[in-house]
């Protein structure tokens, strides 16, 4: 048997992507080549690692056992590389963060840019997804979440609270009836989430307020924000996003003020990774400082 780390790397990519094409994109290899390598690995082991179907590649029972050892080997290699590089000179290599798109668009870019400025050999990737990031499939090295997961082998750290309010453009407010109470919202066009695509109960802002009709709906916070910014309607907006749109004004601040939290979610096995620990600390510290700065800025909006 002559399996190498390269074989395990390909196996992990297929296991996480659940298809040859998804693995090929990650590995930058032709899917047919990936398939041949998996077939050769299975032949060498004398066991089928995947159950193949039209839906893709699912791990077989031997594949599940293989996965645990392959991930352990991956972690050992990463730790060895960290030890060789040394940890005092600065962060290097690639770190991928998954985050809901409000956080990914309005908070993470400047925080991660500051970390990258201090660590020129570091590559930071932000994956903005309107759903929960799957860390077990290694979609990211760590994730920002709006509720703390309770299942899986994960480390969860609360980062900070943040606030949201109704907001509308000055132009929209000048053209439409005054908004002095929640009941006044019935006569206005509201932007919000597509109700059946809300992936976390913490994001059901309008449902919490008893507003079931959403004339302008999207699964993207950025789309909702741009509708509001362009005067198409009003909607629930993150306070930390308001400084990017000077023409927006908060409304009903004495009546509707929502508080939510951000959590950092990581693989439990990563607790021994000095590089990931250092990056996580810089990320959490930076998010706390930047969010406080942005929310203080918009108090008079």
Q: Higher confidence at residue 3 or residue 186?
A: 186
Mean pLDDT score of the chain, rounded to an integer? 88
Q: Which of 38-52, 175-189, 239-253, 261-275 has the lowest mean pLDDT?
A: 261-275
Structure tokens at 207: 């449902």
Residue 2: predicted pLDDT: 47
266 in Cβ contact with 205 (< 8 Å): no
Name all contacts of 242-245 with Cβ < 8 Å and 24+ positions apart.
242/167, 242/294, 242/297, 242/298, 242/301, 243/294, 243/297, 243/298, 244/106, 245/169
Q: Give mean pLDDT, residues 240-257.
A: 94
Has this prediction a pTM greater than 0.85? no
pLDDT band for 164, please (50, 70, 90 cuts).
very high
Q: Give mean pLDDT, residues 45-51.
A: 91
Residue 78: predicted pLDDT: 67
Could you read off the pLDDT of 65-92 as tens digits, one per residue? 888 788 777 766 766 665 555 544 678 8
Structure tokens at 271: 């607790």
Q: Report the C-alpha gap between 290 and 32 in whole angstroms.
A: 46
Q: Higher confidence at residue 26 or residue 158?
A: 158
Which residue in this structure is represented by tokens 């570091």? 122
Domains of the chain: 5-85 (1.10.10.10), 93-158+261-300 (3.40.190.10), 161-260 (3.40.190.10)
């Amino acid at each position: 048997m002559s399996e190498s780390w390269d074989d395990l790397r390909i196996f992990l990519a297929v296991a996480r992507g659940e298809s040859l094409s998804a693995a090929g994109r990650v590995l930058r290899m032709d899917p047919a080549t990936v398939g041949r390598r998996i077939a050769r690995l299975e032949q060498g082991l004398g066991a089928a690692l995947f159950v193949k179907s039209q839906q893709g590649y699912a791990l077989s029972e031997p594949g599940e056992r293989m996965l645990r050892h392959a991930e352990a080997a991956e972690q050992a290699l990463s730790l060895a590389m960290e030890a060789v590089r040394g940890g005092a000179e600065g962060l290097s290599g690639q770190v991928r963060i998954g985050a809901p798109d409000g956080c990914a668009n309005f908070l993470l870019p400047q925080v991660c840019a500051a970390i990258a400025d201090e660590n020129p050999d570091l590559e930071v990737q932000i994956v903005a997804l309107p759903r929960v990031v799957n860390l077990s499939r290694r979609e990211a090295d760590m994730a920002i979440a709006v509720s703390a997961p309770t299942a899986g082998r994960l480390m969860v750290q609360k980062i900070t609270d943040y606030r949201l309010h109704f907001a509308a453009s000055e132009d929209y407010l000048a053209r439409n009836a005054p908004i002095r109470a929640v009941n006044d919202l019935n006569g206005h066009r509201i932007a919000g989430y597509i109700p059946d695509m809300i992936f976390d109960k913490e994001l059901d802002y309008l449902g919490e307020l008893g507003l079931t009709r959403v004339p302008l709906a999207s699964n993207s916070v950025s789309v909702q924000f741009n509708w509001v910014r362009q005067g198409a309607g009003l909607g629930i907006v993150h306070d930390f996003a308001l400084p990017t749109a000077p023409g927006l004004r908060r409304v009903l601040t004495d009546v509707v003020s929502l508080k939510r939290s951000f959590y950092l979610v990581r693989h439990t096995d990563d607790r021994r990774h000095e590089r990931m620990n250092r990056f996580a600390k810089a990320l959490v510290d930076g998010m706390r400082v930047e969010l406080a700065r942005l929310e203080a800025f918009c108090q008079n909006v």
